[in-house]
């Protein structure tokens, strides 16, 4: 039996992220060519991908320190509303 941990990420300042990371994460022309929704989606995906990259490196290492062997699956689900579920 597995347990799922869900973390919802919605970047609230995509334009600032694009300006700060021009050419690194998003691409040089994205701030000019893309509409607001497309910018939001692209930044959300970039942040989620980086988050998973960090987890892939750090989580197994930290679990090993605690003598925990685990199978871990990472995935990104798009178009999730953060307001669908009650907290």
Query: Secondary structure of 50-67 in the HEC alphabet?
Result: HHHHHHHHHHHHHHHHCC
Residues 30-44, mean pLDDT to the nearest whole number: 72
CB atoms within 10 A of CB 4: 5
Q: Which residues contact 66 (CB under 8 A, 6 or more apart)?
A: none
The band of 17, judged by pLDDT with boundaries at 50, 70 and 90, is confident
Per-residue burial over 23-59, b if 16 or more Cβ lie within 10 Å, else e, is eebbeeebeeebeeeebbbbbbbbbbeeeeeeeeeee
- What pLDDT, on a 0 to 100 scale, did the predictor assign at position 53? 92
Query: Are the C-beta atoms of residues 63 and 56 closer than 8 Å to each other?
Result: no
Q: How confident is the model at residue 85 (pLDDT cuts 50, 70, 90)?
A: low
Q: Quick one: tokens of 87?
A: 């907290």
């Amino acid at each position: 039996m597995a347990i799922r941990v869900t973390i919802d990420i919605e970047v609230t300042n995509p334009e600032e992220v694009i300006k700060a990371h021009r050419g690194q994460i998003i691409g040089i022309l994205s701030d000019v060519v893309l509409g607001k929704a497309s910018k939001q989606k692209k930044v959300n995906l970039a942040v989620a991908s980086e988050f998973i990259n960090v987890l892939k490196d750090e989580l197994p290492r930290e679990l090993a320190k605690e003598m925990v062997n685990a199978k871990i699956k990472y995935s990104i689900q798009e178009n999730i509303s953060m307001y669908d579920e009650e907290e």
